[in-house]
């Protein structure tokens, strides 16, 4: 999906009983997408299989959060995160994602598995959206992308230290 897709500002929703599921190879290329993913993201299966998962990346999702996720996953750890994605038609949708590495019998990472559920709206509006807005501002104000991501990472680390919690504790406290 080209980065030039026109965003509509329209939000897509899915039911609380539904779970969005995708699987990727170690490089983040989609190898499986369930029906709910296809419906919410407005894609057909043939349009996503074999494509990079970041094809649904929304520009309002902080790069620093994706770096945090990728670092955790490639080190063999799971990650829970609130994520805003964009659809094929330029709409968006929010999820509470649980992403895990998949291992072979020798404990090598052979891919990633993501289950996404409907997020609590009050958590999004009360904590996540303001946090992501701050992280995005820090990233965009920097002279280059790398220093912007670093500034956002530093902000998040300092915020968590002030609260006296780690990232996982923070996410589950919301």
pLDDT digits (tens, 9 = 90+) for 51-93: 999 999 999 999 999 999 999 999 999 999 999 999 999 999 9
- List the alpha helices (DSSP H) in the chain: 35-41, 45-48, 63-74, 121-123, 129-141, 145-163, 167-173
Beta bridge partners of 117: 96
Asked whether residue 144 is assigned to any structural domain, the reply reads no
Q: Residue 68: give its domain's CATH number.
A: 3.30.450.20
Give dist(CA 21, CA 16) in Å, integer.
14
Q: Using one digit for the tens of pLDDT, what is the confidence trace for 82-138?
A: 999 999 999 999 999 999 999 999 999 999 999 999 999 999 999 999 999 999 999
pLDDT for the residue 152? 98
Asked whether residue 158 is assigned to any structural domain, the reply reads no
Q: Using one digit for the tens of pLDDT, what is the confidence trace for 159-171?
A: 999 999 999 999 9
Asked whether residue 129 is assigned to any structural domain, the reply reads no
| Number of independent structural domains in the chain | 1
pLDDT for the residue 45? 97
Q: Using one digit for the tens of pLDDT, what is the confidence trace for 139-161?
A: 999 999 999 999 999 999 999 99
Q: State whether residue 119 is helix, strand or coil.
A: coil
């Amino acid at each position: 999906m080209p980065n030039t897709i026109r965003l509509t500002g329209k939000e897509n929703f899915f039911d609380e009983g539904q779970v969005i599921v995708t699987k990727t190879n170690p490089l983040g290329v989609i190898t499986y997408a369930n029906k709910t993913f296809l419906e919410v993201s407005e894609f057909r299966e043939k349009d996503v299989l074999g494509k990079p998962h970041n094809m649904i990346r929304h520009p309002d999702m902080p790069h620093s959060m994706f770096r945090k996720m990728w670092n955790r996953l490639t080190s063999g750890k799971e990650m829970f995160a609130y994520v805003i994605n964009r659809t094929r038609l330029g709409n968006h949708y929010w999820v509470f994602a649980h992403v895990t590495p998949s291992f072979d019998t020798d404990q090598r990472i052979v891919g990633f598995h993501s289950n996404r559920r409907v997020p609590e709206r009050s958590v999004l509006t009360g904590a996540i959206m303001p946090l992501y807005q701050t992280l995005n501002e820090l990233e965009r104000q920097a002279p280059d992308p790398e220093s912007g991501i670093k500034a956002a990472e530093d902000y998040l680390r300092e915020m968590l230290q002030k609260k006296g919690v780690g990232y996982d504790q923070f996410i589950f406290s919301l």
